Chain A
Amino acid sequence: MATPVRGCRIPQRNTGGNCGQAVDEPSGSAAMTTTAALELIGLRTEFRIGGAWYPAVRDLSLRLERNETLALVGESGCGKSVTALSVMGLVQPPFGRVAAGSILLDGMELAGASEKALETIRGDRMAMIFQEPMTSLNPVMTVGDQVAESLMIHRGLSRGEALERARALFEEVKIPSPAARLREYPHQFSGGMRQRVMIAMALACEPAVLLADEPTTALDVTIQAQVLGLLADLRERHGMAVLFITHNLGVVAQIADRVAVMYAGEIVEQGPVDVIFADPRHPYTRALFAAIPRLDQAEQELSAIGGRVPPLDQMPEGCRFAPRCPLAQAGCELPQPLVALAATHAARCHVTTAAVMHA
């Protein structure tokens, strides 16, 4: 096997014989024949600690279709943002590197692409929105120029044309009196308005893939709802594929079609939103749901997940959640494949998927 075949890679090969069942991408055989908007295969992104490289994202595979929102969920430091930055080619030596795997944007390989090639793609065919609207905009450039910049670079527009287009984009993201606000600076905008500017910037060249890294986390709840609604509208209108990174399950329920739950650099469970919410299989996913405070149950104690994500250089063998898992037992120290529970649902836990494995 010269090239990695989807659903049957090294960890699975080692366990042997379960290639038919253990799939990393449970989106069905029909979808596999078409080209996904974005497909990651066996992505491994490493960072240097001391002199050695440690994986922050390990063997991560996912498929993102056109006009679909996939939520990437997990606690801080689980590798969600690193995954998005890897796709954008913004994880760079000497600090980090994409060590293995494929990043396919509409079938085109981005892993190992030159910086020059990536520059022509970034902001044009894929775009990213960041978490901190307060610091993500350049404080000394007008917001209009910042939106116009990518149009001037990727579309070769003149500044005037690009600003005119930026005005239309401001209108689209519902910034009031867009023509006047183009000439203003980020410090004259509120947090929510800045995030709208970021969205306008990301949408400028009508990208096929939008990576949204916790775009609403820094906003207050009412503004958050507005921005989420706006993103959903825009996705619909432009037919974009959206990878939505969040740690907020409420947001997931609101915006996503499918969910991928990440823990310590791996996807531990993925499936359609309703399935994951109704029947979470991985103990970590269950713990995440249990940690949501409930208003309908009085006097309930908040349930937190004990312990913390192990540091990159002290990852356990086998299941990475085992040290914090209430269901940990013998066998957890072995490599855990992502096991298909249904056509579109998979989890990486031998305990909760055992029945399926042996069936």
Chain B
Amino acid sequence: MLGFVLRRLLAAIPTLLAVLTLVFVIVRVVPGDPALVILGDQATPEATAAVRERLGLDRPLLVQYFDFLGSALQGDFGNSLVTNRPILSEVRAVLPHTVDLTLASMVIGVAIGVPVGIWAALNRNGVIDVMARLLSLIGLSFPVFVSGVFLLLAFGLHWRLFPVIGSADLNDPLDRLHKLVLPAMTLGLLMAAYITRVTRSAMLQSLGEDYMRTARAKGVPRRRVVWVHGLRNAALPIVTVVGLYVGILLGNSVLTEIVFNRPGLGKIIVGALNQRDYPMLQGLLVIYCFLIVIVNLITDLLYGVIDPRVKAA
């Protein structure tokens, strides 16, 4: 197990290096002088040169590259052009909100999607199956800014169960949870729709396998056959989709964040884009890739836990 973890961690290093290099190159290749971006069109040559020197842009590319690598590895991505605060601390301030939202919608998605998917598979082409497929299609078809607004109107305005605007106090767990419910439902239902479909098809395949018949021939009760023998074999595709989706959610929950007025990673990425905050974008890109690598690593580790053949490979 430890060897497996180490091997996967080592395999992540080239990925991260490649990302860092790519980000470095993109920022240098994109036309336009960062100093001019900072100072504006009317800058004097002296001021521009001063900024270039401050940013280290006057040094040879290779020196800049290793400098960039070195500070990135220490978590130093420079300061935001807009707020002039270190990028890492900007990210740290919003990351808990993003992680909250991502994990909560993952839990909701799995808690709804897996049982419904199994239920649908067991009643293939029956009423339950058709309903589940229809509902998941509807779930997939609704953009979050529509379903989110619906949830807001229903539970925020009509019944007034949950707050309409939600920048939670991170030190108050109850407040955090309370303001999390609606946005997490919005993304969780979407994720549940995905997971229902994947679970259903993985389970259908699993149900037809010989080992399921063997388990029943042993006298294993039907419920246990499905939930133990079937689900563990169907778990690989489910974990894959969950992992993929968690990766996407980390940076792409911006629409949900806007609808519910929550701080988050997605929101500052869009903000940095709008304000041409290049160092911020560069840092966010690297941090985001790092998070994806971590999520993939966890997914890979779960593969090894679920399927012993993965470890051997």
Contact = CB atoms under 8 A, between A and B. Distances in A.
Interface stretch (B79-87, B141-149, B153-161, B211-219): B211-219
Given A120-B219, A124-B219, A149-B220, A135 B211 contact: yes
A140 B210 contact: no
Interface in B267-313: 306-309, 312
A130 B213 CA distance: 9
A253 interface: no
Interface string B210-248: 110111111111100000010011000000000000000
A236 to B, nearest CB: 23
Interface string A111-124: 00001001111111
B209 interface: yes
Given A136-B213, A187-B312, A123 B307 contact: no
Nearest to A138: B211
Interface in A107-165: 115, 118-124, 127-128, 130, 132, 135-141, 149-150, 153-154
Which of A90, A128, A130, A138 neighbours the largest number of chain B CB atoms within 10 Å of its CB? A138
Interface in B81-101: none
Nearest to B126: A94
For chain B, the bracket of interface size reads 20 to 34
B309 A187 contact: yes
Given A90-B213, A130-B210, A187-B312, A140 B219 contact: no
A344 B225 CA distance: 42
Q: How large is the interface on A (under 10, 10 to 19, 20 to 34, 35 or more residues)?
A: 20 to 34
A127 B221 CA distance: 15
A121 B219 contact: yes
A257 B263 CA distance: 78
B233 A138 contact: yes
A120 B220 CA distance: 9
A189 interface: no
Q: Which of A140, A150, A188 is the most central at the interface, judged by chain B CB atoms within 10 Å of its CB?
A: A140
Given A90-B213, A132-B210, A138 B229 contact: yes
Contacts, number: 76
B247 to A, nearest CB: 25
Contacts of B229: 138, 141
A115 B223 CA distance: 12
A185 interface: yes
Nearest to B310: A140
B308 A185 contact: yes
A122 B219 contact: yes
A122 B210 contact: no
A352 B311 CA distance: 62
Nearest to B233: A140
B309 A185 contact: yes
Nearest to A124: B219
Nearest to B124: A94
A122 B221 CA distance: 10
B214 to A, nearest CB: 5
A120 B308 CA distance: 30
A119 B221 contact: yes
A136 B214 CA distance: 6
B221 A130 contact: no
Given A90-B216, A141-B232, 5 more contacts: A137-B211, A138-B215, A140-B232, A150-B220, A185-B309
Interface of B: 209-211, 213-222, 229, 232-233, 306-309, 312
13 contacts: A90-B213, A90-B216, A119-B220, A122-B218, A122-B219, A139-B309, A140-B233, A140-B308, A150-B218, A150-B219, A154-B219, A187-B309, A187-B312
